[in-house]
Amino acid sequence: MKSWIGILAILLMSMGISNLWAEPYLAAWEGVNCNECHMNETGGYIRNDFGRNYGNNLKTFDWQGIADAAQAFTHKTPTWVSAGVDFHESFGALFKPGVPGVPTQFNSGSPFVPLGRQSFSIAIKANEVISGVFTYRLDESITKEVYALISNLPNDAYFKLGKFTIPYGLELADDNSLVRDDLVSNNSGGYIFTFDNPTYDGVEFGIYPGSLFLNAAAFNDGVNPAEKDFSAKGGISLREFTLGGSIYGQNLDNTANTGGKIRYGAYGWTKLGPVVLLGEFDSGHDNLLTAGAVTGQDTYTAYHASAEIDLGLDMYLRFVNEYLTDTNLGAGFDGFRDVVTFRFYPIRNLKCQMDAQRMDPTAGSANYGSGPYYAAIFDTYLFY
């Protein structure tokens, strides 16, 4: 029995266990951008050879035998095809001292206590220019990505067609960040700026990975498929820092139905000695409708600020402060969120992360009538 478990673990690692989420912290530490590690230029899901090698070179407590066996098997796979399996499990407790009868919830549906998630990805390369990517969420039984990618065009240009994660702002690994999830209002037909939620058919064009980058996408709207939404980000990416801006629009010409939405902001990161700094500021509004007519706007503002300290041996301590507000208090959460995170890699291609969080909701915000609330989370997931 034990031998079969060992063979299965080696097989999965050899297939290329991929980190489901992008990690701008890792990009900042290495002085690169998201596409350096991922096939998707905006980050996330299946990794390229550089990303896999990065995982193999992590300083860990190191069970060398497992890593060596996986590498030996990997080298026998065809060069034109790569695959990835992600296993992510999260264990958490949400404490609500201000809610009578619900003092503690373990692995609850709170947006701040993510549950486990698993995905399978495969990439097939026809040649150095044309490739295809498919990603399937095993836990949700839905397709997350299926697109054709034409890359290595003149001036580092690329073209993408299909279903993919759209470009916008920081590609945060902890997707329940306010700037990634709740910035889009409840009536949007599904959150947009998170890897963990629906994506829609569309096209994307970009210039990547030069010092100047641009990612621009147009895709079907989640509420009105006949409508086209757009999202884009661009800026400058140097080894010392990355600085960019983003814009997103939904239903801008269909005010008689769901109303228009607009988001825009700036983001960036830099490394100062043993510390990486990340930041994003976002704003925008939703049109409010009455009997098909625009009668007002619900204005949104959010920011993310974090600092991560390198403790050595690929162990990191992170401090996060976030804030979200909308004028109608209709978002999933309005208020402040503070997080202290410790992440480390006990063995190669296995990341562990422990979070301690505090949420201070604005009085009267949706689903959060009192507070503060607290959460303790332990995340584990394999990647390759």
Question: What does the pLDDT read at residue 88?
Answer: 77
On average, the pLDDT of the chain sits at: 75
Task: Please check the confidence at residue 1 and state whether its pLDDT lies above 50.
Answer: no
Task: Please check the confidence at residue 336 and state whether its pLDDT lies above 80.
Answer: yes
Question: What does the pLDDT read at residue 267?
Answer: 94
3-state secondary structure 67-109: HHHHHHHHCCCCCCEEEEEEEEEEEEEEECCCCCCCCEEECCC
DSSP codes joined into one string, 121-160: EEEEESSSSEEEEEEEETTTTEEEEEEEEEEEEGGGEEEE
Name 5's Cβ contacts closer than 8 Å, sequence gap at least 6.
none
Res. 372 pLDDT band, cuts 50 70 90: confident
Higher pLDDT: 124 or 194? It is: 124
- Token couple for 176: 């329940």
In three-state secondary structure terms, 268 is: strand
Question: What does the pLDDT read at residue 324?
Answer: 87
Domain that holds residue 243: 2-382
49-58, 206-215, 351-360: the lowest-pLDDT one: 49-58
Q: What's the pTM value of the predicted model, to 2 decimals?
A: 0.80
DSSP category for residue 362: P
Residue 196 sits in a domain whose CATH number is: 2.40.160.10
- Quote the CA–CA distance of 320 and 25 in Å, as a whole number: 12
Report which of 246, 230, 242 is spatially closest to residue 169, judged by C-alpha positions: 246
What's the total number of domains in the chain? 1
Question: What does the pLDDT read at residue 2?
Answer: 37
Q: Are strands 275-290 and 130-137 parallel, antiparallel or unpaired?
A: unpaired
Higher pLDDT: 10 or 70? It is: 70
Question: What does the pLDDT read at residue 232?
Answer: 92
In three-state secondary structure terms, 2 is: helix
Is the CB of residue 9 less than 8 Å from the CB of residue 16? no
pLDDT digits (tens, 9 = 90+) for 157-175: 999 999 888 888 887 755 4
Higher pLDDT: 168 or 113? It is: 168
- Quote the CA–CA distance of 184 and 237 in Å, as a whole number: 27
pLDDT digits (tens, 9 = 90+) for 90-101: 788 877 776 666
